[in-house]
Amino acid sequence: MTDSGERLQKVLARAGVASRRAAEELIEAGRVEVNGMQASLGVRVQPGDRVTVDGEAITAPAQHVTYMLHKPAGFVTSAQDELGRMTVLDAMPAVPGLHPVGRLDKDSEGLLILTTDGDLTMRLTHPRFEHEKVYRVWCYPEPGERELAALRRGIELEEGFARAEVEPALGGALALLREGRKRQVRRMFAEVGCPVDRLLRYRVGGLWLGDLAPGEFAQLSEQQLGWLLQPGAAQQSPEQQQQEALTRRLWL
């Protein structure tokens, strides 16, 4: 086996197909071919090689792009939907390899990251990085001190114990998570008797929603990518402080 070329899982990640770890799973499942031959872990790709996943050729972009989208309620966070519903990619430009990072359920809205960079996806979604995600929750009845204390202590969900840092807000609460279980905020609030009516995510890491209107998107600058990769928002630049103030004025 030659040592030249680029590792196949890295090529898949750079093309936005999956993170490197997920790409390894695709290879082990026999879903990846190089030049018509089923690939195995350790294969390296040379310039001009044809790489396919489930029979579809992939093309790695020369330079990755990352966007923030104000996801409207009603859009599904996936590349395709078997029920024919609108997906978040329907709101975005047609960029090869573009995919959502993490999820917001169909009925939720707010800040969603989409990128062509599989390595960035892994860094933002792997639990060890503990990136903060913050939500505005509207619910009825509103949580009192007893319910807020229960959410802070933690709620036993089917797949394990889940905690949130919460504080009261008019009509509901603000909730900060450092993990990303499916519909976690909705499930936790339902467990304490405060079902969610509306849910809006307004911060990921150190990146704020700002004045991005529902359905609007913007390509992230290098500065904004730096904000995004901050685990939280403890130390903010003056520009981040401005975005926080704008976010709070418009959405909270």
SS (H, E, C) 230-248: CCCCCCCCHHHHHHHHHHH
Q: Which of 56, 59, 57 is nearest to 16 (CA)?
A: 59
* Domain CATH for 70: 3.30.70.580
- Decide which of 73 and 235 is more confident: 73
Are 148 and 199 contained in the same domain? yes
Query: Would residue 74 count as lying in a domain?
Result: yes
The DSSP call for residue 76 is: B
Q: Is the pLDDT of residue 17 over 50?
A: yes
Are 187 and 140 contained in the same domain? yes
> How does the average pLDDT of the chain come out, rounded?
90
Task: Round to whole Å and give the CA distance between 192 and 13.
Answer: 40
The DSSP call for residue 211 is: T
Pick from 14, 33, 57: which residue ends a domain? 57
Are 143 and 195 contained in the same domain? yes
pLDDT at 213 (0 to 100): 96
Are 36 and 96 contained in the same domain? no
Are 118 and 212 contained in the same domain? yes
Are 102 and 225 contained in the same domain? yes
Query: Would residue 157 count as lying in a domain?
Result: yes
Are 197 and 141 contained in the same domain? yes
- Which residues pair with residue 12 across a beta bridge? none
pLDDT at 49 (0 to 100): 86
* Domain CATH for 200: 3.30.70.1560
Pairing outcome for strands 44-45 and 6-7 = antiparallel
pLDDT at 45 (0 to 100): 86
Token pair 């685990």: residue: 231
Give alpha helix (H) positions in 31-182.
118-125, 145-153
Q: Cis (ω within 30 of 0) for the bond into 141?
A: yes
Q: Is the pLDDT of residue 95 over 90?
A: no
Q: Is the pLDDT of residue 170 over 70?
A: yes
10 Å CB burial of residue 3 (0-12, 13-18, 19+) is exposed
- Decide which of 61 and 222 is more confident: 222
Query: Would residue 178 count as lying in a domain?
Result: yes
Query: Would residue 1 count as lying in a domain?
Result: no
Of 3-7, 133-137, 176-180, which range is least confident?
A: 3-7
Q: Is the pLDDT of residue 16 over 80?
A: no
Q: Is the pLDDT of residue 173 over 50?
A: yes
Are 143 and 176 contained in the same domain? yes
Count of the separate structural domains present in the chain:
3
Q: Is the pLDDT of residue 118 over 80?
A: yes
The DSSP call for residue 4 is: -
Q: What are the angstrom distances between the C-alpha of 163 and each of 51, 184, 225?
A: 42, 9, 27
What average pLDDT score do residues 27-33 get? 94
Task: Round to whole Å and give the CA distance between 247 and 198.
Answer: 17
Residues with a catalytic annotation lie at: 105
* Domain CATH for 10: 3.10.290.10
Q: State what percent of residues in the chain have pLDDT above 70.
A: 96
Are 107 and 227 contained in the same domain? yes
Query: Would residue 236 count as lying in a domain?
Result: yes
User: Residue 61's pLDDT band (boundaries 50, 70, 90)?
Assistant: low
Are 43 and 99 contained in the same domain? no
Are 194 and 103 contained in the same domain? no
pLDDT at 1 (0 to 100): 41
Sign of the torsion formed by the C-alpha atoms of 180, 185, 187 and 191: positive
- Domain encompassing residue 222: 66-127+205-251
Are 139 and 123 contained in the same domain? no
